[in-house]
Amino acid sequence: MLFYRIDDWSDAYTNGGNIPRGEAWPEVWVEPARLYRERMIEAGRARLDLSYGANPRNRFDLFLPQGTPKGLVVYIHGGYWQALDKNYWSHLAHGSIEHGFAVAMPSYTLCPDVRVGNIVQEVAAAISDAAGEIDGPIHLTGHSAGGHLVTRMVAETSPLPNDVRSRVRTVVSISGVHDLRPLVNTNLNAKLRLDDAEAAQESPVLMRPGRDTRLFCWVGANERSEFVRQNTLMASVWLGLGAETGAYAEPDKHHFTIVDGLADPHHPLVKTLLS
């Protein structure tokens, strides 16, 4: 067959239901994240629940390396802008911490309590506050919806203050959703409440990259085809608009295991993020 068409958009963006034993996530992450926080608290290298705004979820955790940090990594969690929080991911800081970087992990207000555009502004505020705590270059990464959010930070219309934006060196979007327009046709939209205009307005793939943008798009080779397509699409479009980009599909990884590399100091994902 020469042609391909998506008839079930909800299924195209459903991860857990299309992964063997997919129901194990997100709980698989809870215990390693908790143990890592406890270890870093005991070592005096964790500052938890720092406030960056007035809303209850406007909090971030900051994990510190031994000695003076070389710079800051910020990890933005996924959950389709409507689920999860910072406490699932603490152990993923380990890879960057071992290279001497501080790592900030914020939560943000979820849909339907706010719109996607409001989350974009909250993430910018979280990054800005974390940047005030740590000197040096800033490296941004995020998973799924978090991939969208970190990419949005380096678009031409970035909500980051100029002094913070100028410090951003590398962005790695992991399984990012960069074009929100397909989500209008999914069951996810019951909470997202996107219309065509807002979906287009908040899609990085329809924006120009900001000055000196370095964006790498990383995805699992075993992911849903829509995530692989969006990964390639984002890197390709911004390459054509003057950004420095790259794209990679990591073999034998699906939408949930794709983030595991962040916990390994020797993994190519960490080396790309800190480049």
Q: Which residue type sits at 75? A: Y
Q: pLDDT tens across 158-183, in order? A: 999 999 999 999 999 999 999 999 99
CA distances 31 to 116, 134, 165, Å, are 29, 28, 34
- Cα angle for residues 150, 243, 131 (degrees, 5° grid): 35
Q: What is the mean pLDDT of residues 121-138?
A: 98
**What's the pLDDT at 11?**
93
| Two tokens, residue 211 | 């000055």
Q: ω into residue 112 within 30 of 0, thus cis? A: yes
* Residue 49 pLDDT greater than 90, yes or no: yes
Flag the least confident range among 24-28, 116-120, 139-143, 238-242.
Answer: 24-28
* Residue 17 pLDDT greater than 90, yes or no: no
Q: In sequence order, what E strands does 127-193 have?
A: 138-143, 168-174
**What's the pLDDT at 194?**
97
Q: pLDDT tens across 54-65, in order? A: 999 999 999 999
| Confidence class for position 249, pLDDT limits 50, 70, 90 | very high
What pTM did the predictor assign? 0.97
Flag the least confident range among 2-11, 174-183, 187-196, 202-211.
Answer: 2-11
Q: What is the rounded distance in angstroms from the CA atom of residue 114 to the CA atom of residue 4?
A: 35
CATH code, domain with 205:
3.40.50.1820
Q: What is the rounded distance in angstroms from the CA atom of residue 197 to the CA atom of residue 202?
A: 9
* Residue 95 pLDDT greater than 80, yes or no: yes
* Residue 1 pLDDT greater than 80, yes or no: no
Q: What is the rounded distance in angstroms from the CA atom of residue 48 to the CA atom of residue 40?
A: 10
- Which position has the token pair 């608009």? 241
**What's the pLDDT at 18?**
86
Size of the chain, expressed as the number of residues it contains: 275
Would you say residue 13 lies in a domain?
no
Q: Residue 216: helix, strand or coil by DSSP?
A: strand
- CB contact at 8 A, 141 and 221: no
Domain that holds residue 265: 26-273
What 8-state DSSP symbol labels residue 62?
E
Q: In sequence order, what E strands does the chain have?
A: 46-51, 59-63, 72-76, 102-106, 138-143, 168-174, 214-220, 244-250
Report the DSSP beta bridge partners of residue 106.
60
What 8-state DSSP symbol labels residue 24?
G
Q: pLDDT tens across 61-91, in order? A: 999 999 999 999 999 999 999 999 999 999 9
Strand order in the sheet with 168-174: 46-51, 59-63, 102-106, 72-76, 138-143, 168-174, 214-220, 244-250
Q: What is the mean pLDDT of residues 209-225?
A: 97
User: Domains in the chain: how many in total?
Assistant: 1
User: In the chain, what percentage of residues exceed pLDDT 90?
Assistant: 95
Would you say residue 269 lies in a domain?
yes
| Two tokens, residue 259 | 């983030």
| Two tokens, residue 202 | 């908040």
Q: What is the mean pLDDT of residues 35-55?
A: 98
- Which position has the token pair 């998973």? 143
Of 220, 120, 137, nearest in space to 171 by CA? 137
